[in-house]
Amino acid sequence: MLFNSYTFLIFLAVVLPVSRVLSNWTARKGFLVAVSYLFYAAWNPPFVLLLWFSTVVDWYLARAIYHAAHPGRRKGLLGVSLLINLGLLGYFKYGGFLLDNFTALMHGLGVVYQPPPFSIILPVGISFYTFQTLSYTIDIYRGKFAPWHSFLDYALYVSFFPQLVAGPIVRAHDFLPQCVEPKLGSARQVGWGLSLLVLGLFYKVVIADRIMAEVVEAVYDAAALPNFAEAWTGTLAFAIQIYADFAGYSLCAIGVGLCFGFVLPDNFRFPLAAVGFADFWRRWHITLSTWLGSYLYIPLGGNRKGTLNTYRNLVITMLLGGLWHGASWLFVLWGGLHAFYLVVERLIQGQAWARHRLWQVPPVQFGLALLTFTLGCFTRVFFRAPHLERALTTLKMMLGAGWHMQPGIEIARRDYLMVLALLAAFLLFEWYMRDKSYEWLAAQMPWWARSAIMAVLLFAVVISLPKGDHAFIYFQF
Amino acid sequence: MPSSTSNSNSRIPHAPYGKQWLLALLLFAGLLLPVELALHEQGHLPSVTDSMALWAYQRSQVYPHPRAADETKQGAKHIVLLGSSRMQLGVAPDVLEQTLPGYTVTQLGINGTVGLAVLKDLAEDPAFTGLVIYDANIVSLARQGETSQQRWVDYYRREWSHWGRWDKMANLAIQTILQERFLLFSSTLSPRQLLVFIPGAAPAYIETRPDRYRAAHYYSLLTPAGLDRLRTRIIDLTQRNYARTAPTSQADFLDSLHTLVRPAVAKIQQRGGNVLFLHFPVGAELRDLYDTPELRRQYWDQIAPITGAPTLHFADIPAMRALPVPDASHLDAKDARRFTLLLADELRRLQLVSVAE
């Protein structure tokens, strides 16, 4: 079920009041687990069994790890959890990819190998809920968290529908303590939660789907090759599309969670205003980057074992982070380019001239943010292109090869202007908001001005809502 | 670093949220109503979104329904329309159903594509036993278009083959009801039109109906100059598509007939179904591409003997040949109705349908 669907609006309109009617806290949590499974089943019912399996397995393994006296046994049980969770992820998400690469390798070695047909449906959200259950088990193994006393709470933690299919990736220590005291979204929480839901839908439905998607598809999915201007326009449009799509989803998730009284972690902090790539990853898909930091980068040694090892750890983390997004070498290249940027940034930061006060002057900082955004666009080409050849061609065109080419894509002049105008608006808004929050912004306005803004956003969403089949891009990950 | 959203209850701004949302909803309604009325005034027509979900729903309807709500449709035989925009704009399923009682007609044509992938999909579906009417010409049977509709087939197989389709069907039903009744939800209006160009937003000349028939109102909703511009664009687009997707030679075309089309036709015929290859009218500007005596001899005349399926060429039926083609490629809604009636006559004459008189 998509947040931007009519069925979700009906679902929410039924579930929210019913949950408020239930006065017993345990009954309300049970109801939320049941409707979360219904929400998941709306996509493909048999896969709720997988969600249930993942939940039950980690619940019992975590308890066993906690009670195991022998370190070897604890390690073994953790290994079982990793094997099961990563095994599920590997089978459903990377099975076809591994088989294709193995076949290619065999062919490369001159061995004729015809693999059996491998057609597996990728269960929506598996990358997200697997990471949540893994973090619970690993935290208990590390002694940072004790097994939770209530299976119902744990089941709600894994399946809570606002964050189930595309995050934010919630940690057990953030969510489970919220299950202790009875929760009923207060008027403030519901009022603000609905505001975030409308803002998120505006990002997704209007900006990502109705304005940017057409230009992006025209450039990246056309048979014809784009020239310089077209390649840049398509890529800039994609930069806004992917941001509005995913940040929109996160805003919806946080808003809906708040309506039920639950606080979900932040996932974006105005990332288009990031100065440098380390800053970018503190602002973009925060719950993934902190997850990778806690469970991969730091265990690898982080930055504690010398410069070279730090670079190695960065590269491994970013390559695996890329692969998390999808079973494709394009995502690996995307992660690799990010790793390259991070390594170069660290090298630069080590130079004396890089610590000059000049770099802290606001206009220079803004210039650096623009540079970060522009360099980030080169990574986004790998994220969006349907295949490597198209990605490389698009990059070549962006780097000047397409300068003298005739237009090959049908993009109207007003679409160029729309992309550029929205891009400028986004960059300026994000820069202005860089160290602020939506709450701060709302608090600056009189209540009637917020009403007017909500009315306009709702209007824009309604007239844009029913035009096509646009799932959230991050559903595929 | 502060968060951009509410990761702490204490940061949620204080406001009279009840009053705020009440005013927001009033303002929202105040925006919707006048715009809806203005769109009616400007002559816009309701139009549904021709989405993959709508196509998949129609695709799922090509089987006999023993318990159909409409008794005339119980156990009805099926006619499935395949092809491109010419099929979508040229044949009205409701008109064909009225003319051929006992038949259910499903529109599966897809704009800008050719029907080979869906023909193959139907051929490989053992439950399908109906009549396929295929929008056929030199391009639409060439191997170059083999996968142009594959995305729709894959979507149907992936998303419509399990219980998860009920969510999509419910969403589709709500969307269709809203789009049929309110112009603001119409698929032909873009936010850009509504937000920026409302005063001069010209009505779209094509409306899509829930049965996926697309009615084109060239004469009533386009000015003569607008129609000229559209014709130039369609001719240019058709020529470019032709250059990309036409067979490289006669041998290439015949090979496609032998290896792609004939096996699919044979499978459908073995189950008691059939396929009719129908050539739609094209304007004089495009005749060189589709309809010269040489092309007819080399390409069109080869289809029936190789595939074993009947063919129907518009040029052979004087009443069809006489129909105007305003944009050089598609029929106006009024002429599409006439074309559909003529097609029904031909289906009877070719004994592809059996209708009690």
pLDDT in the model for residue B65: 66
Asked if the C-beta of B4 comes within 8 angstroms of chain A's C-beta atoms, the answer is yes
Question: Does B23 score more than 90 pLDDT?
Answer: yes
Beta bridge partners of B274: B131
Q: Using a CB-CB distance cutoff of 8 angstroms, which residues of chain A are in contact with residue B11? A: 437, 439
What residue ranges do the domains of chain A occupy?
6-182, 189-476
Among this protein's residues, is A67 annotated catalytic?
A: no
* A37 Cβ contact partners less than 8 Å away, ≥ 6 residues apart: A48, A51, A52, A159
Question: Average pLDDT in the A134-139 region?
Answer: 94
Distance CA A162, CA A168 (A): 9
Mean pLDDT over residues B335-344, rounded? Answer: 96
| pLDDT band at residue B74 using 50, 70 and 90 as cut-offs | low
Q: What pLDDT is attached to residue B1?
A: 44
Per-residue model confidence (pLDDT) at position B24: 95
pTM: 0.85
The pLDDT > 70 percentage for chain A reads 96
Tokens standing for residue A92:
């459903």
For chain B positions 238-257, those within 8 Å of chain A (CB to CB) are 244
For B226, residues 6+ apart whose C-beta sits below 8 A from its C-beta are none
Distance of CA A385 to the CA centre of its chain: 18
pLDDT of residue A15: 96
Contact B299, B250 (CB under 8 A): yes
Give Cα B283 distance to the centre of its chain.
20
What is the model's pLDDT at position B68? 55
Q: Are B343 and B331 in contact (CB under 8 A)?
A: no
pLDDT confidence bin for A117, thresholds 50/70/90: low
Q: Which of A6, A196, A210 sits opposite B171 (nearest CB)?
A: A6
Helices (H), A109-223: 126-141, 151-159, 161-164, 172-175, 187-201, 213-220
Per-residue pLDDT tens over the stretch B237-285 = 888 888 888 888 999 999 999 999 999 999 999 998 999 999 999 988 8
CA distance linking residue A409 with residue A234, whole number of Å: 10
- In angstroms, what separates the C-alpha of B138 from chain A's closest C-alpha? 21
A278: left (phi over 0), alpha (psi -120 to 50) or beta: alpha
Instruction: Count how many pairs of residues, chain A against chain B, have C-beta atoms within 8 Å.
Output: 171
> Cβ–Cβ of B164/A43 closer than 8 Å?
yes
Adjacent-strand bridge partners of B276: B133
Q: Determine which of A6-20, A217-231, B333-347 has the lowest per-residue pLDDT on average.
A: A217-231
Provide the terminal-to-terminal Cα distance of chain A, rounded to the nearest Å.
16
Distance in angstroms (rounded) separating the CA atoms of residues A322 and A16: 36
Q: What is the torsional sign of CA B94, B96, B102, B104?
A: negative
Q: What is the mean pLDDT of residues A396-425?
A: 82
Per the prediction, chain A carries an average pLDDT of 89
Cα separation of A397 and A3, whole Å? Answer: 36
pLDDT at residue A473 is higher than 90:
no
Distances (CA, A) of B295 to A80, B35, B287: 67, 51, 10
Q: Which two tokens stand for residue A29?
A: 């949590």
| A97-106, B113-122, B139-148: segment of lowest average pLDDT | A97-106
Output the DSSP codes for A222-275. Answer: -SSPP-HHHHHHHHHHHHHHHHHHHHHHHHHHHHHHHHTTPPPPP--S-GGG-S
Arithmetic mean of pLDDT, B36-46 = 85
Question: Encoding tokens for residue B18?
Answer: 């009840």
First to last CA, chain B: 79
Task: Check residue B291 and give its pLDDT.
Answer: 83
* B2 confidence band (pLDDT: 50, 70, 90): very low
CA-nearest residue to B184 within chain A is: A463
Q: Confidence band (pLDDT; 50, 70, 90) for B190? A: low
- DSSP class per residue in A148-169: PS-HHHHHHHHH-HHHHTT---
| DSSP states of A430-458 | HHHHTT--HHHHHHTS-HHHHHHHHHHHH
- Residue B82: what pLDDT? 97
pLDDT band, residue B3 (cuts 50/70/90): very low
Q: Tokens standing for A193?
A: 């939660």
Q: Mean pLDDT lowest for which of A139-148, A435-444, B181-190? A: B181-190
| Cβ under 8 Å to A: B residues 45-84 | 49, 51-53
User: What is the residue-averaged pLDDT of chain B?
Assistant: 87
Q: How confident is the model at residue A424 (pLDDT cuts 50, 70, 90)?
A: very high
Report yes or no: B171 at the A interface, CB cutoff 8 Å: yes
Least confident stretch, A82-96, A458-472, B168-182? A458-472
- Whether the per-residue pLDDT at A125 is higher than 70: the answer is yes
Res B287 pLDDT > 80: yes
Positive/negative CA dihedral, A442, A445, A451, A454: negative
State the CB neighbour count (10 A cutoff) for residue A397. 25
pLDDT tens readout for residues A291-344: 999 999 999 998 888 888 999 999 999 999 998 888 889 999 999 999 999 999
pLDDT at B325: 92
Question: When comparing pLDDT for B195 and B175, which is higher?
Answer: B175
